[in-house]
Amino acid sequence: MTEPLDQNIQLRIDGPIARVTLNRSDRHNAFDDRVIAALSACFDNLATNETVRVVILASTGKSFSAGADLGWMKRSAGYRNAENEADARKLAEMLAKLNLLPKPTIALVQGGAYGGGVGLVAACDIALAAEGAKFSLTETRLGLIPSVISPYVLAAIGARAARRYFLTAEFFDAAEAYRLGLVHSVVPADELTEAGDRLIKHLLDAAPGAVADAKRLIADIAGRPIDDTIIGETARRIANARSSDEGREGISAFLERRKPGWRLEKD
């Protein structure tokens, strides 16, 4: 089932797999306020869809995403400060929805990912890049800063690398993106979809509730000191997981040498 949520965004749902595709190749999949609104609505939809277990974020054409549409940015330059902040907040909220989506997300990156396009990549749980992919945090060239995307990019590449690439706005290739931790794998361009499909199989083998809880665990625990609060909180979470329906089913299935209930019949 394919749903054109917006002429620039397509949502295709095949059983447990949702594919969100940026479909604005004539503008290098740059986003404006309409595209941001459509993506935000799409992520709201997927967050509450109990059938969907994995979300793929991809794009058509030669570029993954050139980031913010320059026409949109030109309009925003004429806004009053309060209007500009409200406009920027919509992008921030869309990225937060993607980052916290209670489903695993995989970005498939081909061609260029620039500015806010890097933010989309960093907000996904897993990112795969084609060998020819190019990246740049281009904002300073335009007299801007990568502010809204910074929490996700910093989490991916760290502050030290950001002190170079946030400031220089230089381009870097897929191998450097891999070295920095922005992407998890680099594959030949014609194998990008297949590489994503292999990851999908692994994710569908895992319990959907446990996957969502593991994703929340990372968000809640990363960067915090290991103190009595963390020790108690992590003990409580594993205790809850052990006594959950999924936990009981998973252990029983393992001991009985059978597939757990969440595994698809065909696998």
- Does 262 fall in a domain? no
CB 105 within 8 A of CB 125: yes
- Does 261 fall in a domain? no
pLDDT reported for residue 266: 56
Residue 255 burial class via C-beta count within 10 angstroms: exposed 0-12, middle 13-18, buried 19 and up:
exposed
173 and 138 in one domain?
yes
CATH classification at residue 95: 3.90.226.10
pLDDT reported for residue 5: 57
pLDDT in tens, 104-134: 999 999 999 999 999 999 999 999 999 999 9
- Does 78 fall in a domain? yes
pLDDT reported for residue 84: 83
174 and 236 in one domain?
no
Distance CA 156, CA 175 (A): 15
219 and 146 in one domain?
no
Is pTM beyond 0.85 here?
A: yes
Averaged pLDDT for residues 55-77: 89
Q: Which pLDDT band, with edges at 50, 70 and 90, does 102 fall under?
A: very high
Of 174, 203, 232, the residue at which a domain comes to its end is 203
pLDDT in tens, 133-182: 999 999 999 999 999 999 999 999 999 999 999 999 999 999 999 999 99
pLDDT reported for residue 1: 56
- Does 265 fall in a domain? no
Residue 224, pLDDT above cutoff 60 = yes
167 and 48 in one domain?
yes
Tokens representing 13 are: 């749902």
Which amino acid, one-letter code, is at 26?
A: D
pLDDT reported for residue 2: 54
129 and 250 in one domain?
no
Domain hosting residue 106, numbered range: 2-203
158 and 218 in one domain?
no
CB 70 within 8 A of CB 106: no
Distance (Å) of CA 211 to CA 187, 198, 217 = 25, 17, 10
- Does 27 fall in a domain? yes
Averaged pLDDT for residues 236-249: 96
Q: Are strands 126-130 and 185-187 parallel, antiparallel or unpaired?
A: parallel
Distance CA 259, CA 214 (A): 21
Q: Which pLDDT band, with edges at 50, 70 and 90, does 88 fall under?
A: confident
38 and 56 in one domain?
yes
- Does 260 fall in a domain? no
41 and 25 in one domain?
yes
Q: For the chain, give the mean pLDDT.
A: 94
- Does 175 fall in a domain? yes
Q: Which residues of 3-38 are buried (b: 16+ CB within 10 A; e: fewer)?
A: eeebebbbbebeebbbbbbbbbeebbbbbbeebbbb
pLDDT reported for residue 219: 94
pLDDT reported for residue 27: 93
What proportion of the chain, given as a percentage, has pLDDT over 70? 97
Q: Which pLDDT band, with edges at 50, 70 and 90, does 78 fall under?
A: confident
51 and 183 in one domain?
yes
pLDDT reported for residue 3: 55
Other C-beta atoms closer than 10 Å to the C-beta of 135 total 26
- Does 56 fall in a domain? yes
Quickly list DSSP for the chain. -EEEEETTEEEEEETTEEEEEE--GGGTT-B-HHHHHHHHHHHHHHHT-SS--EEEEEESSS-SB--B-HHHHHHHHTS-HHHHHHHHHHHHHHHHHHHH-SS-EEEEE-SEEETHHHHHHHHSSEEEEETT-EEE--GGGGT---TTTHHHHHHHHHHHHHHHHHHH---EEHHHHHHHTS-SEEE-GGGHHHHHHHHHHHHHHS-HHHHHHHHHHHHHHTT---SHHHHHHHHHHHHHHHHSHHHHHHHHHHHTTS--TTS-TT-
102 and 48 in one domain?
yes
Residue 267, pLDDT above cutoff 50 = no
Of 183, 203, 223, the residue at which a domain comes to its end is 203
148 and 54 in one domain?
yes
236 and 189 in one domain?
no
The domain total for the chain is 2
